[in-house]
Amino acid sequence: MSAAENEKNGDVQSASEGAVATSGDRLVDLYREMVLVRAFEDACQRGFRQGKIGGYLHLYTGQEAVATGFLEAFREGDRVITAYRDHAHALLLGADPNEVMAELYGRGPGLVKGKGGSMHLFDVENGLMGGYGIVGGHIPLGVGFAYAQRYQETDHITQLYLGDGAINNGAFHEAANLAGLWGNDGMCPCLFILENNQYGMGTSVERATAQTDLTVKFDAHGIEHEKVDGMDLEAVIEVAERAAEHVRETGKPYAVEAMTYRTVPHGAADFFEKYRTKEEIEKWRERDPIGLLEKKLIESGAAEEEKLDEIKDEAKERTNEAVKFADEAEQPPIEELYTDVYAGEDEYMGEK
C-alpha cells in the first residue's frame, strides 16, 4: 500500500459525515490562525536558509488543520505536550510570534530565553508544556500530566501529540499501557493525538511497521480510538470536541489518528527527499488544509476571496514584524548560560 493510500485504511471521519456546528465566522478566525502559522513557518524556512536559524528546523506545513482543530477543544487549565514539530502548537495557544521567532533566532527575548530553540518551545502560562526532541520520549510525561490533573481533582485534560514515527517506540507503548491502566480508575484524562503524516523522517509507515493501521496499537492498551481526515478542519474540530469531552468526563484516555501529510521536507536541510515522489507531494498539496478551507469558505459564502487575501497579507505582515523583532533583538546575556539548571537559590553547580 502506498503512503498516499494510507488514509483509506479504516474509517476516516470526514466533515460530510460529522455533525459540524462550527460557525462561518469562527472558521474565518481559524483560517486566519492557520494562515499565520503557514506564513510564520515560510519565514522560518527563509531564516534557516539565510543562516539566521541554527540547529534543526521541523515545519508543520500541511498539518495545520490538526493542531488548529484539536486546540479548538482546549479549555483553560488543560495541558498540551508535543514533540519537536511544535511551532504551530505554540502559536495557536497564544504565544507571541515575536517571542517564538526570537527563540528560533537564538535571541534573549525568545520564548525560552534562547535555551531551547525550535524543538523546545514552552509556554506554560498558555498550557504548552513543551516541545521535546527525542521521538517518543515525551509521551510518558503527558500521561503523568493527566494523572496529576485527576490527582489534583481538576477537570483538566492533557492533549498529547505524537507522530507516526513515535508509535513503534517503547516509550509510547509503556506510556499507553499506563494510560489505559490508570484510565480504568478514571485517573488518566489524556487525549492522544496521533498525527500520522505517513513518514517517520524518511521512512514510510509501511516500511516501519507490519501493522499499518496505527490505531490498532492503542487496542493493545485498552484505549478507545478513531480516525479523522486531518486535512479537513471541520472534521477535526468535530472529533476533537467530542473526544475531549469524553476524556474530560470519564478520566479515560482516548486516541485519535489524524491522517495528514507534511508537504515540506522532514527537516529544513532535507532537500532531496529520496523517500517520496514529487507526484505524491503534488497530490497531497491538492488536499492542503488551508486550500480546502479556503474553498469551503468561499463556496459557503462565509468569506469572499478578497477577504481571504486580506487575511493572508495580514499574516505576512505579522510574520515580517516577528522577523524584524527577532533580527533586532539582543542575544541572550552570557549570564543566562548559568541560570535555570537547578530550581532554587543555587541555579548552577560548577565553575564559571
Residue 182 C-beta: closest distance to another protein, Å? 9
> According to the binding rule CB under 8 A, does residue 134 interact with another protein?
yes
H or E, element range at 329: none
What's the alpha-carbon Rg for the chain, to the nearest Å?
Answer: 20
Number of residues that bind another protein (CB under 8 A): 52
Residue pair 225/253 in contact (Cβ under 8 Å)? The answer is no
> According to the binding rule CB under 8 A, does residue 290 interact with another protein?
no
* Distance spanning both ends of the chain, measured CA to CA: 57
Q: Which stretch binds another protein (CB under 8 A): 135-143, 193-201, 210-218, 278-286?
A: 135-143
H/E/C letters for each residue in 156-225?
CCEEEEEEHHHCCCHHHHHHHHHHHHHHCCCCCCEEEEEEECCEECCEEHHHHCCCCCCCHHHHCCCCEE
What is the DSSP-derived secondary structure letter of residue 266?
Answer: S
Residue 79 vs 318, nearer CB to another protein: 79
> Pattern 158-177, binding to another protein, x per CB under 8 A?
------------xx-xxx-x
Q: Which of residues 183-202 bind another protein (CB under 8 A)?
A: 185, 187
> Pattern 71-110, binding to another protein, x per CB under 8 A?
--------x-x----------------------------x
Residue 253 C-beta: closest distance to another protein, Å? 12
d(CA 159, CA 161): 6
Q: In what order do the strands lie in the sheet with 190-196?
A: 12-13, 224-229, 254-259, 190-196, 158-163, 79-82, 128-131
Q: Which stretch binds another protein (CB under 8 A): 7-15, 20-28, 133-141, 233-241?
A: 133-141
Q: Please calculate the CA angle 35-37-40 and round it to the nearest 5 degrees.
A: 105
> According to the binding rule CB under 8 A, does residue 122 interact with another protein?
yes
> According to the binding rule CB under 8 A, does residue 130 interact with another protein?
yes
> According to the binding rule CB under 8 A, does residue 316 interact with another protein?
no
Residue 11 C-beta: closest distance to another protein, Å? 30
> According to the binding rule CB under 8 A, does residue 335 interact with another protein?
no
> According to the binding rule CB under 8 A, does residue 139 interact with another protein?
yes
Secondary structure (3-state) at 12: strand
Residue that is written with C-alpha cell 506510556 in the block: 175
131 beta partners: 82
| Residues contributing to the site for another protein (CB under 8 A) | 79, 81, 110-116, 120, 122-124, 129-130, 132-134, 137-149, 151-152, 170-171, 173-175, 177-178, 181, 185, 187, 339-344, 346, 349-350
